[in-house]
């Protein structure tokens, strides 16, 4: 990962309006920037990760399979392919864009303020988790995730909840 990450600033419709550093995009109320979440499946089960305790935002919370930002010059798909390798040492094929949302989620002196696309797909299940990024992974059926999310919503990141809800409303969810 680059030492000084440059992120794409966007409006509520995902139109690029500039760039800024990752730090500036997350400080205070944050600046709206482009991001994505990925929900990847193997043998009908969703891969979830528990964020590292070293993370600035929502350390130790359950999260999507992987997530990140789109860098200048990248597509959502390109960013997802890059990050799958960085976080999971996994190769993912084409992911289906099933939903997008805008959200603001403060935590302490920082915040997430993102336009986020939800990408979904299958892969071969081969992973080597990056322990700097996550402390744990688990595989779960969609129904089990929905039940646990209802019982323990504070155990999940805010963007996981929005991503999962959007996924469940998409036609793609019927495959799982």
What range defines the domain where residue 149 resides?
6-175
Give the CA angle between residues 47, 51, 53 to the nearest 5°: 155
DSSP letter for 156, please.
Answer: B
Rounded Cα gap, residues 93 and 105, in angstroms: 30
Nearest CA among 24, 126, 112 for reference residue 68? 112
Domains of the chain: total: 1
- What is the reported pTM? 0.95
Residue 173: its pLDDT value, please?
Answer: 96
Q: What is the pLDDT along the chain (176 residues), one digit of tens a residue?
A: 446 899 999 999 999 999 999 999 999 999 999 999 999 999 999 999 999 999 989 999 999 999 999 999 999 999 999 999 999 999 999 999 999 999 999 999 999 999 999 999 999 999 999 999 999 999 999 999 999 999 999 999 999 999 999 999 999 999 99
1 belongs to a structural domain: no
CATH of the domain at 94: 3.90.79.10
**According to the model, what pLDDT value does residue 56 have?**
87
Residue 40 domain-assigned (yes or no): yes
pLDDT given for residue 1 in this prediction: 47
What 3-state class would DSSP assign to 78?
helix
65 within a domain of the structure (yes/no): yes
| Residue 30 belongs to some domain of the structure | yes
What span, in angstroms and rounded, lies between the C-alpha atoms of 150 and 32?
28
* DSSP label at residue 3: S
């Amino acid at each position: 990962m680059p030492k000084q990450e440059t992120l794409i600033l966007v409006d509520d419709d995902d139109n690029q309006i500039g760039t800024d550093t990752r730090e500036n995009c997350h400080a205070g109320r944050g600046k709206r920037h482009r991001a994505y979440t990925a929900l990847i499946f193997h043998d009908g089960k969703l891969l979830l990760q528990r964020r590292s305790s070293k993370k600035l935002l929502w350390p130790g919370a359950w999260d999507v399979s992987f997530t990140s930002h789109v860098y200048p010059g990248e597509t959502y798909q390109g960013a997802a392919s890059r990050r799958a390798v960085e976080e999971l040492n996994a190769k993912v094929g084409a992911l289906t864009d099933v939903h997008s949302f805008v959200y603001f989620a403060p935590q302490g002196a920082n915040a997430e303020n993102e336009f986020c696309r939800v990408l979904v797909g299958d892969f071969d299940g081969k992973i080597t988790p990056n322990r700097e990024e996550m402390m744990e992974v688990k595989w779960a059926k969609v129904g089990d995730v929905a039940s646990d999310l209802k019982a323990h919503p504070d155990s999940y990141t805010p963007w996981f909840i929005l991503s999962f809800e959007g996924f469940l409303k998409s036609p793609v969810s019927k495959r799982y």
